[in-house]
Amino acid sequence: MSVQLRLKDDWFEVCDRAQLQPGRGIAALLPDGRQAALFIDREGRAYAIDNRDPFTGAAVLSRGLLGAAGGRTFVASPLLKQRFDLETGRCLDDDSVTVETHTVRLA
Amino acid sequence: MPTDTPRHSAHDNTIVLVGHGMVGQRFLEAIAARGLTATHRVVVLCEEPRPAYDRVQLTSYFSGRTPDELSLTDPEFIEQHGIELYVGDPAESVDREAKTVTARSGQTFAYDTLVLATGSFPFVPPVPGKDITGCFVYRTIEDLLAIEEYAKTYAKTGAVVGGGLLGLEAAGALRGLGLDTHVVEFAPRLMPVQVDEGGGAALLRTITGMGLTVHTGVGTQEIIGTQGAVSGMKLSDGQELATDLVVFSAGVRPRDQLARDCGLTVGERGGITVDEQCRTSDPAVYAIGECALASDGRVYGLVAPGYEMAETVAGSIAAEESSFTGADLSTKLKLLGVDVASFGDAHGATPDCLDVVYSDSRSGTYKKLVIGAGGELLGGVLVGDAEAYGVLRPLTGSVPPVSPEQLVLPAGAGAPVAIGPSSLPDSAVICSCHNVTKGTIRGAVTEHSCTTVPEVKKCTKAGTGCGSCVKVLGQLVNDELEASGVEVDKGLCGCFGQTRQELYEIVHTLRITSYRQLLDTHGREAARGTEGCETCKPTVGSIIASLAPTIGADGYVLEGEQAALQDTNDHFLANLQKNGSYSVVPRIPGGEITPDKLIVIGEVARDFGLYTKITGGQRIDMFGARVEQLPLIWTRLVDAGFESGHAYGKSLRTVKSCVGQTWCRYGVQDSVRMAIDLELRYRGLRSPHKLKSAVSGCARECAEAQSKDFGVIATSSGWNLYVGGNGGATPRHADLLAQDLSDAELVRLIDRFLMFYIRTADRLERTSTWLERIEGSLDHVRDVVVHDSLGLCDELEALMADHVAHYRDEWSETINDPERLARFVSFVNAPDVPDPTVSFVPERDQIKPDLPLLTIGSRPRDLEGAASR
Ligand SMILES: Cc1cc2nc3c(=O)[nH]c(=O)nc-3n(C[C@H](O)[C@H](O)[C@H](O)COP(=O)(O)OP(=O)(O)OC[C@H]3O[C@@H](n4cnc5c(N)ncnc54)[C@H](O)[C@@H]3O)c2cc1C
Ligand code: SF4
Ligand code: FES
């Protein structure tokens, strides 16, 4: 089984499902040079958001820790610890900040 | 968002507001709150191309806040209250006879009440060349966009004229844009208005330490241009400074031209003269905010007094009794990494007042309190450690409950400072931005049943301005909840109701080796089966690692599920730096190293292009490694006999030593050997926070053992053991635990001490805070670890024996296992591609992170959006 990201109209294959460990993110390089951070939670749901931490500019969100708040899964930036909802990309600590999200599937 | 058909008829009263800045917006909120928007037509003329935004947080634009995110204006609010807002259309003239205002667009509005909130403009000294391309001011979002654009295209060096609050903020921003930055201040010290001479000296050290160049006591004489653009400036001492960009931040002046032109009274030095109701010389016209010359003869350059004026005017339109008679000038600098605050009578201008000063130039700390003749606190200056600001500011005007010395001494020196917000009177203003008293905050809890800080913030507005009061606010809310019988949750986080210590006991007794198992069996009901959170994951990860050999967990922190629990640095077994690169620190036990090994470190650093720096812990830090380089670097290091230095872990860092008896004329014991023994014994020990240690060969204490978590000093008959010391931001002298110990006794005591600490400390609690927090403090710890009062010592020693027996080097385990190695890539789908956002530029013959690339390069889309709005 592979992990795929939706880019425009195509599915972009990132890696093998086995390379994604629950709770520990990985980064992928997209064809246009941008980066995505991919995660899988303990239920096996996969998520993908932009890898860039908007508060510092560094491409590190894939290295953050996962957590849950109010039934939603988030990642906490490893640099300054702001949390981002993995489904919507919204920052839970600053309403006005959002990171981009990608549709992801296991196929 | 003007409504096409105003919903008020012509005979309704009309309020016209000129200026939609911070104070103008607050005025709109204040009249809306009083229901005045329903009875009045409200017209707003806004000069800037965007509605009101948070000017106080302007600089946060450079750390990624977009102009949209800075906005203070909710379109829904404007619409809902039928406010007619004309953006980009300033008022050009006022006819007070006819009671009309004419805007640049040619529209004319009749008013019954006119409110001027035109703010200030930056003062630019009249020096030749001040208008050349490359000269800027720092006031609006447009100014920042222009500075950013120019800096990234044309500039390598920047100079800020003015070393005040705003000047330093601007200088910090230029530095963040990657410019070599100079600050030129005419006064003999930085922030002359807020801090005194001693504070200025401490501030200077900190600012210089951040890499800024400061020129004080000199004026700017001329801006020099080459081919029409800035190339340098001439200073009053004859010096010439090469610079590509100049930002003027030499103070602000009230924008009172509109008022002057229509014949309103203005002050001799500017500012629209107003009375206690903020009424100008024409009773139909008010002036508020930075453009007003208040009844106490001052023009206020801060937002809090402006907000008070806005409330005053709204109150007086609503026929309430209200007045503005003056305000406090307390401020805290919002510059990353610099702690500066001043409040009340910071300069000691009150007759017969006295100073209490604490100054430590080593740590760049300076604290001064001004005390009145009756013992009351009048004001103060805090530089380097402004922790106490939140409590001291509200105490201003009253006699503090403890002696002033105790308020300025660092924790650990002298008596403990038992002053918290509970000692403040109800009338004390906790949040000066929104003028919220302690009584109001307590009321929010007791009467409005708020139970969390965010609820209290929403209810009272406290803490929603500059943010400097939030910490005290949190303590107050907790105190109040506790007092009103609400049980305050001491749990670790939203997932666990237990403290770290309780979780340690559970993991230990039940031998739980998995985080999920612990969460699903002992977590709060709602958290069971969930993902957990970023607080408890690393905490439980650390407990499991500390106890690994005893409970039968894998000792390798990246094994299985444990890999997903490790925080920032442990994630890749290296220290994450600001641009996403890592630093590498091999262990150098006791700071002793052979020339051959030194050469290996040099060669590795050279071959991988790393920045090297000697650390305070007597070893060498190599910066700038990309994830995928870490295994290659460590293969070389492990081959040469190095092992992980655990600089990334919450674990033992180093045991420093002086050369001791072997070489030193004064030495009485072999401090190097002891340091090496201790470092090798406790290496890799995971703990609630990092652990540092040192061994000195005699009482001269060259290794600074008394500033360590555990420090050892040689005596002629053995060793003295000190515990609970700390350096850094909150220095604390270690306490003597036991004297004249033999080698074996020393090691046994340290074993017990460390294990007792690991067992009972909170998450991220250093030994210094732990020692002060736990009941009975040092005496209790001595009873437990020296006199075995709890009968725990055998167990503590056994735990340490397990640790020592099972220690393995994490890095050799990593490089010898292909599966583990596979993790160390920047991109899972392109393992050979280095992360292009991690890049470097040269500085002083080495590399440094290329930060402009981070703030600008990778954010082009935001920027375009911003500029076109
Ligand atoms: C970088 C920076 C950092 C700061 N940090 C702090 C801080 O930490 N703490 C603090 O208390 N204060 C701080 N301040 C000061 C604070 O921003 C001001 O005190 C506050 O903005 C004053 O509000 P105001 O509404 O009076 O003026 P402004 O916010 O300047 O608003 C006035 C508005 O009126 C407009 N205007 C002027 N003339 C006309 C006209 N004829 N027609 C229509 N519109 C007009 C202007 O364009 C402007 O938009 C800082 C300021 C800056 C620039
Ligand atoms: S502490 Fe004593 S033994 Fe060690 S270097 Fe200093 S003087 Fe010499
Ligand atoms: S003092 Fe500024 S937000 Fe409270």
Residue B126, exposed/middle/buried by CB under 10 A (0-12, 13-18, 19+)? exposed
Question: Over 70: is that where the pLDDT of B119 sits?
Answer: yes
In angstroms, the CA A56 to CA A89 distance is 16
Cβ–Cβ gap B576/A63 under 8 Å: yes
Q: Are B469 and B432 in contact (CB under 8 A)?
A: yes
Q: Cβ contacts of residue B785 below 8 Å, gap of 6+?
A: B737, B749, B752, B753, B756, B793, B796
In a domain, B619, yes or no: no
pLDDT-derived band at B540 (thresholds 50, 70, 90) equals very high
Q: Which ligand approaches the C-alpha of residue B432 most closely?
A: 3
Q: Which of B808, B833, B849 is the last residue of a domain?
A: B808
Question: Count of CB atoms within 10 A of residue B511's CB?
Answer: 12
Nearest C-alpha in B relative to A4: B829
Q: Which of A76, A13, A66 is nearest to A44 (CA)?
A: A66
Q: Which pLDDT does position B9 carry in this prediction?
A: 45
Quote the pLDDT of residue B865. Answer: 29
Quick: pLDDT tens for B817-855.
Answer: 888 888 899 999 988 888 888 889 888 999 988 875 555
Kindly report the protein residue whose alpha carbon is nearest to atom 6 of ligand 2. B702
pLDDT for the residue B336: 56
The mean pLDDT of chain B is: 87
Q: Do A60 and B580 touch (CB under 8 A)?
A: yes
Nearest atom within ligand 3 for CA of residue B467: 3
The DSSP code for B515 is H
Q: What is the largest CA-CA distance in chain B?
A: 97
Q: What is the Å distance from ligand 1's center to B22 Cα?
A: 6
Correct CATH for A2-106 of 3.40.50.300, 2.60.40.10, 2.40.30.10, 2.102.10.10 = 2.102.10.10
Q: What is the pLDDT of residues B135-149, one digit of tens each?
A: 999 999 999 999 999
| Across B111-121, average pLDDT | 97
Q: Please indicate, yes or no, whether residues B531 and B550 belong to a single structural domain of this protein.
A: yes
Let me know if residue B473 belongs to a domain. Answer: no
Contacts of B866 in chain A (CB under 8 A): none
CB B237 within 8 A of CB B220: no
Residue B857 — very low, low, confident or very high, per pLDDT cuts 50/70/90?
A: very low
For the full predicted model, state whether its pTM sits above 0.90.
no
A vs B: CB pairs below 8 A: 119
Q: Residue B861 — very low, low, confident or very high, per pLDDT cuts 50/70/90?
A: very low
Whether residues B674 and B764 share a domain: the answer is yes
Max mean pLDDT among A19-23, B172-176, B651-655 falls in B651-655
The answer to the question of residue B442 being in a domain is no
Residue B779 domain-assigned (yes or no): yes
- Tens-place pLDDT, residues A31-62: 988 999 999 998 889 999 999 998 888 899 99
Quick one: B689 and B798 in the same domain?
yes
Residues B666 and B798 reside in one and the same domain: yes
Model confidence at B419, pLDDT cuts 50, 70, 90, reads low
Residues with Cβ within 6 A of ligand 2?
A: B 658-660, 664, 666-667, 671, 696-698, 700-702
Q: What is the DSSP letter of B726?
A: B
Q: What value does the mean pLDDT take over residues B98-111?
A: 96
Which residue in chain B is spatially nearest to A44 when comparing CA positions?
A: B531
Which chain B residue's Cα is nearest to A36?
B827
- The tokens for A35 are 């980066």
Atom of ligand 2 nearest to the CA of B664: 8
B682 lies in the same domain as B539: no
Please determine, for residue B858, whether its predicted confidence score (pLDDT) is greater than 50: no
Q: Is B367's pLDDT higher than 90?
A: no
Residue B723 and residue B777 share a domain: yes
Cα–Cα distance, B547 to B553 (Å, whole number): 8
- B59 C-alpha vs ligand 3 centroid, how far in Å? 17
Q: Bigger pLDDT: B515 or B552?
A: B515
Structurally, chain B folds into a number of domains equal to: 4
Shortest-distance Cα residue to atom 50 of ligand 1 = B56
The CATH number linked to B721 is 3.30.413.10
Query: Angle, to 10 degrees, between the axis of helix B536-551 and the axis of helix B500-510?
Result: 30
Higher pLDDT, B344 or B673: B673
Rounded CA gap, B460 and B457, in Å? 5
The pLDDT score that the predictor gives to residue B855 is 53
In a shared domain, residues B216 and B262: no
Residue B122 C-alpha to ligand 3 middle, in angstroms? 24
What are the start-end ranges of the H helices in B735-817? 743-760, 767-773, 777-785, 793-806, 810-815
Name which of B124, B123, B142 is nearest B53 in CA terms.
B142
B283 shares a domain with B199: no
Q: What is the pLDDT of residues A59-74, one digit of tens each?
A: 999 999 999 988 889 9
Residue B535 belongs to domain spanning: 500-566
Pick the more confident residue, B422 or B53: B53
Helix (H) or strand (E) holding B232: strand B229-235
C-alpha to C-alpha distance for B708 and B692, rounded to whole angstroms: 5
Quick count: other Cβ atoms within 10 Å of Cβ B654?
A: 28
Domain boundary among B250, B266, B283: B250
Confidence category of residue B410, pLDDT binned at 50, 70, 90: low
Which pLDDT score, from 0 to 100, does residue B541 have?
A: 92
Is residue B189 within 8 A of residue B200, CB to CB? The reply is yes
The structure tokens listed for B731 are 């220095």
Per CB-CB distance under 8 Å, the chain A contacts of B533 are 65, 67-69, 76
B145, B101: one domain: no
Instruction: For chain A, give every domain's residue range.
Output: 2-106
Q: What is the pLDDT of residues B474-516, one digit of tens each?
A: 878 888 887 776 666 778 888 998 989 999 989 998 889 999 9
Distances (CA, A) of B126 to B130, B131, B221, B248, B250: 7, 10, 9, 11, 11
Examine residue B681 and state whether it is found in any structural domain, yes or no: yes
Q: Is B600 or A10 the better-scoring residue by pLDDT?
A: B600
- Determine contact: B530 vs chain A, CB below 8 A: yes
* B563 has a pLDDT exceeding 90: no
In a shared domain, residues B112 and B258: yes
Classify strands B272-273 and B292-293 as parallel, antiparallel or unpaired.
parallel
Q: Which of A61-70, B594-603, B687-696 has the lowest mean pLDDT?
A: A61-70
Min Cα separation A2/chain B (Å): 11
Query: Is B417's pLDDT higher than 70?
Result: no
Give the residues surrounding ligand 1 with Cβ less than 6 Å away.
B 18-19, 21-24, 45-48, 55-56, 58-59, 90-91, 117-120, 138-139, 166, 169, 255, 258, 289-290, 301-304, 306, 334, 466
In this prediction, residues B725-754 reach a mean pLDDT of: 91
Question: How would you list the strands of the sheet with B611-614, edge to edge?
Answer: B575-576, B582-584, B620-625, B611-614
Are residues B98 and B113 located together in one domain of the fold?
yes
Evaluate if residue B163 carries a pLDDT over 60. Answer: yes
pLDDT above 60 (res B7): no
B162-185 average pLDDT score: 90
pLDDT tens column, B339-351: 788 888 877 778 8
Give whole-number Cα distances, B166 to B186, B197, B203, B344, B465, in Å. Answer: 15, 19, 15, 19, 17
Domain limit, last residue, from B270, B299, B317:
B317
pLDDT at B188 exceeding the cut of 50:
yes
Indicate whether B260 and B197 sit together in one domain: no
Cα angle B200, B201, B206 (rounded to 5 degrees) comes to 95
Do B67 and B57 meet the contact criterion of CB atoms below 8 Å apart?
no
| % pLDDT > 70, chain A | 100
Asked if residue B560 is part of any domain, the answer here is yes
pLDDT given at position B552: 86
Please name the residue ranges forming H helices in B670-712.
671-682
